[in-house]
Chains A and B, each alone.
Chain A
């Protein structure tokens, strides 16, 4: 009992929630982008590759210009290009989204590993200028909240802004309405005089930018200027799962990402007791379980409504 109490205390400390925020952020930013493409009716499996590109070009920019801001800028630029590239195939050429997404992921692994080895050597990139951590003076004195919320990398806070911004964009502006219509009722939107392709292009470019920002945060903020091959570690897929849980609502997607971060952080804390290989399984297993739960429960809800309608 005492042992368990000790375990409980070490696992569930403020550090856990601090870690949760830290680990959720890259997934959350990408999930906002995924929510946009999902609303536009594009199944975007390629987010993992987009994150990887952002991570690499962020570090590359940081190493070339000696500033993390330049790295972030380069990542955003690459994000626009990747979004255009994705849009070109998916929207313009109407290719299979699944094939293009999978290919984009492999392409990103190939391109970033190739360039990383040519530029930084086989060791990868380490210790380049990173994005600043935000410490609000005096805030760390606040009990509990201070320890959880203070001193994170910049994008942990900016993500809140992004969530709010894109929530308003999707649900409160005419463009957001068109965006949703372009996925759900493209013909109706066309009749209303707006080309659904235009909204699909917008969504894929914004998704490219957001995923690359997520990547840049991963390499420049989360890991302080480090690039390693395949460092996205299936985060893009987890972000995709978050989008599905959240029914493409960015605010809910953020919560889903927090939950992923929570289990990831628990895994990290349990490493003192269990092999790290086993604890690393937790977030992936949770993703499958949550995905199944959400799909099954929404179907049951729908069936219930149908049954009521029958009566």
Chain B
């Protein structure tokens, strides 16, 4: 009985990965502590700030809707990163793919003005996916066929996409209203995603996002394709010699990742902004990437953590009301990553120093013992 119970608990512990959860909780607590110190040093009241953060996220249904929407953005961006990481390619270029997806989806809605939403929205989604996917294909192809490191190319392509979209929004696709600098024309209200919570950013896009998230999880964890993708990422040589077309799998992973980022751009346009402008995304992909890193590229953990970080982010907007810059949120997020990334190293070096101390004590004890014996 006892043994069985032990086995059960061991199983549960394994399933929950207690070590990961423990270090995550500890990292989050330490991050709050460190940020409290930074806030205090900068002359703000940490407790009032954290109170305002809580209020910023939970004081009204509207804010709850806002953080759910942001959780959706983080989750899809994070999953896009996970998908790339699983096949062994880091898609750091999601920001550019997102922006291009957004602007093309928006423009399709404007070109097809007057057509029924049943045609426009699927076409816009396809347009966003094609834009994002093609833009991800370039660095993917360069990485696989030419062995050019994808990190630098994707980061450069982020800047290129940002400037290109700014050019389009200021020039050829500019809003007719002169006061709108760097924005495209507004979409017809027929095409807007319906609001699920009045006045909040939460729209029906979250249903589509949930389907995508489920599909990614299902494909990654439950299908043969997912298995092939995983071994390609973890052991490319083994995958190659087992007869897998690893090149194709890596490029495919990157393209699908880009398509997801493009779709996030479309969700932002059709759900929240209703036109393209720079506020479509403010490094949102990088925040999603951060979440994926903290989740150690685990899809399920990414989904949970997106919710947590979305609450922090929307809460951080609340602290602007009492005059504290919301960027403390970025500091908090990165402190968590630092701890999570160093978790193994930190625990190892603590163990090492403990061992050294124990060995020293043992040596001293032995020496003392030896002396008394004589």
Contacts and interface: CB of A to CB of B under 8 A. Distances in A.
Contacts of B283: 109
B80 interface: no
Interface string B181-215: 00000000000000000000000000000000000
Interface stretch (A162-170, A175-183, A206-214, A277-285): A277-285
A299 interface: yes
Contact of B156 (A278, A280, A284): A284
Contacts of A111: 38, 327, 330-331
B155 A237 contact: yes
Interface in B43-76: 43-44
User: Chain B interface residue count: which class?
Assistant: 35 or more
B159 interface: yes
**Interface SS of chain B:** helix
Interface string B91-127: 0100000000000000000000000000000000000
B325 A100 contact: no
A114 B325 contact: yes
Interface string B305-340: 000000000000000000001011111011101100
Interface in A202-254: 233-234, 237-238, 240-241, 244
A115 B90 CA distance: 31
Interface string A262-299: 00000000000001011011001101100110011001
Nearest to A229: B327
B153 interface: yes
Interface in B115-170: 142, 146-149, 151-153, 155-160, 163-164, 166-167, 170
B290 A234 contact: no
Interface stretch (B6-14, B222-230, B260-268, B342-350): B342-350
B217 interface: no
B181 to A, nearest CB: 12
A110 B331 contact: yes
A113 interface: yes
Contacts of A241: 152, 156
22 contacts: A89-B338, A93-B348, A93-B349, A98-B90, A99-B293, A99-B341, A103-B334, A103-B337, A107-B335, A110-B334, A111-B327, A114-B325, A114-B330, A118-B42, A233-B159, A244-B149, A278-B164, A281-B160, A288-B157, A291-B153, A296-B146, A299-B147
Interface of B: 38, 42-44, 90, 92, 142, 146-149, 151-153, 155-160, 163-164, 166-167, 170-171, 283, 286, 289-290, 293, 325, 327-331, 333-335, 337-338, 341-342, 344-346, 348-349
Interface of A: 45, 89, 92-96, 98-100, 102-104, 106-107, 109-111, 113-115, 117-118, 233-234, 237-238, 240-241, 244, 275, 277-278, 280-281, 284-285, 287-288, 291-292, 295-296, 299
